Amino acid sequence: MCSKNTLHTLLFLSATVLSSCITIPNQFKSVAPGYWRAVLRLDSRDQPLKTNSARLDADPETHFEEVSGGELPFVFEVKYDSPEKFHIEIINGSERMRIDDIQTGRDRKTARDTIRINFTEYETSISAAYEGNVMEGFWVKGGKKIPFVAKQGQDYRFSTLRKKPEADLSGKWETTFGIEKENKTEQEKAIGEFEQKENRIIGTFMTETGDYRFLEGEVQANKVYLSAFDGSHAFLFEGKILDKDRLIGSFRSGATHYTQWEATRNEAFKLRDEYGITTVKPGQETINFNFTNSEGKNISLDNPEYIGKVKVLQVSGTWCPNCRDESVFLSEYQKNNPELAVIGLFFEKHKEKEAANAQLTKYKTKMKIPYETVVVGLAGKNEAAAALPMLDNFSAFPTTIFVDKKNKIGRVHTGFNGPATSQGAQGGWTDYQH
């Protein structure tokens, strides 16, 4: 027979052994918290994709085959604000993009738990079923579905490899997109800006119409990989290091756009002047318009609140990430310069004016935009050019028009270089003296 002390000891040891075998259930009733590694399948082709250029394919040095298979990786974190409520932060380089509009529930047809992550400002979403540490579904944009899968507990982007890089790609690169095109006028110049530390690389490409925002990736031996996903755009870059000063690669945007690019290290390279791309037609320097906002108010530069003020006209769209960056900047800029009037002229993808107004209202509320915004027409360069006939060679969203106190156009700025670039969130136009 055991003594009382011996019995207590045996009971304690039994409890300890049992507790070590018991898995404590997740205290959260929904998606598991922590880091998740997601992949968007941009292309269903299984074979490596070669260039579309006979010149490039024939040259052993520049021969390039894409090996990523069109799989775009990104990382997000699930953070619980309470046991019942959580938000998601999508991570691209130094950017953490917070998403609060999330719905979870049980699908009655499939008897599976589901999640819907809504990118309200872009009218896109991720819809997926989840079980344990796996999500599987689609990124939905404009009626198109791109396969999506995510696994919890993984925080790497492309791989866990640590192959010694053949070069440090930090610095400034003169880049040409569309090198497979025979007509050079269809090619696009850009500036690559990168920072590399061992295998990790971050940076962006600046074009004459804006930047590719926060790119993040890695360098493995003679290969470089970069990606970004922000709910509106899915960017995937893959490159080959030819030598320490030359790169060649491929670029995918979503499931439809594919092109090749090459880059040469060039710290002195500059793009065209952003103020010289879109200009004002001779004799049409004075601007005015009459548009109706969602509240039925007529918006005109003859309105009392704009008379005698310098104006900034933002030609924009809620679907455009570079426009979003500019909206953030303009909101803060106007707070610090209250004598300046800002008006957002938005071109939306909804044909129905009521739906377009509803989207702009949601966007303005979420972004906390303090200035007047109005839907002008459908998204498209031709539509913008028709609505603003005084402009010559309208090229990009956003475009910013600077107007003096007498409604005369001073300058027109094309594009916006946002916080991912060396210009920070200055947009490149703050040198304009109002």
pLDDT by residue (tens digit) across 406-434?
999 999 999 999 999 987 655 555 544 44
Superfamily of the domain at 171-265 = Quinohemoprotein amine dehydrogenase alpha subunit, domain 2 (2.40.128.120)
Lowest mean per-residue pLDDT among 9-18, 19-28, 310-319: 9-18
Lowest mean per-residue pLDDT among 5-9, 33-37, 381-385: 5-9
Query: Is 126 within 8 Å of 148 (Cβ atoms)?
Result: yes
Percent of the chain with pLDDT over 70: 85
pTM score:
0.86
Write down the pLDDT at residue 5.
Answer: 45
Q: How far apart are CA 286 and CA 409, in angstroms?
A: 6
Q: How far apart are CA 405 and CA 275, in angstroms?
A: 20
Class of domain 34-152: mainly beta
DSSP, residue by residue, 345-410 = EEEES-SSHHHHHHHHHHHHHHHT--SEEEEEEESSHHHHHHHSTTEES---SSEEEEE-TTSBEE
Is beta strand 279-280 parallel, antiparallel or unpaired with respect to 257-265? unpaired
- Asked whether residue 166 carries a pLDDT value surpassing 70, the answer given is yes
Please enumerate in sequence order all residues whose Cβ is within 8 A of that of 191, keeping only pairs 6 or more positions apart, or say none.
Answer: 172, 173, 174, 175, 205, 206, 269, 270, 271
**3-class SS at 5?**
helix
**3-class SS at 247?**
strand
Query: Is 317 within 8 Å of 210 (Cβ atoms)?
Result: no
Write down the pLDDT at residue 143.
Answer: 87
Superfamily of the domain at 279-414 = Glutaredoxin (3.40.30.10)
The DSSP output letter for 115 is E
Q: How many CB atoms lie within 10 A of CB 192?
A: 26
Q: How many CB atoms lie within 10 A of CB 64?
A: 23
Chain mean pLDDT for the chain: 88
Looking up tokens 């007509």, which residue turns up?
183
Say if 34-152 and 171-265 have the same CATH topology: yes
The tens digit of pLDDT for each residue in 23-47 reads 334 456 789 999 999 999 998 544 3
H helix or E strand, kind and range, residue 219:
strand 215-220
Dihedral (CA of 115, 119, 123, 124) sign: negative
Q: What is the mean pLDDT of residues 87-92?
A: 98
Residue spans of the domains in the chain: they are: 34-152, 171-265, 279-414
The tens digit of pLDDT for each residue in 183-198 reads 988 999 999 999 999 9
Ranges 8-22, 48-62, 79-93, most confident: 79-93
Exposed/middle/buried for residue 75 (C-beta within 10 Å: 0-12, 13-18, 19+): buried
278 pLDDT band, cuts 50/70/90, is very high
Exposed/middle/buried for residue 266 (C-beta within 10 Å: 0-12, 13-18, 19+): middle
Q: What is the mean pLDDT of residues 76-85?
A: 95
Write down the pLDDT at residue 63.
Answer: 63
Q: How far apart are CA 256 and CA 254, in angstroms?
A: 6
Write down the pLDDT at residue 423.
Answer: 79
Q: How many CB atoms lie within 10 A of CB 427?
A: 24
Write down the pLDDT at residue 384.
Answer: 96
Write down the pLDDT at residue 185.
Answer: 87
Write down the pLDDT at residue 383.
Answer: 96
Write down the pLDDT at residue 94.
Answer: 94
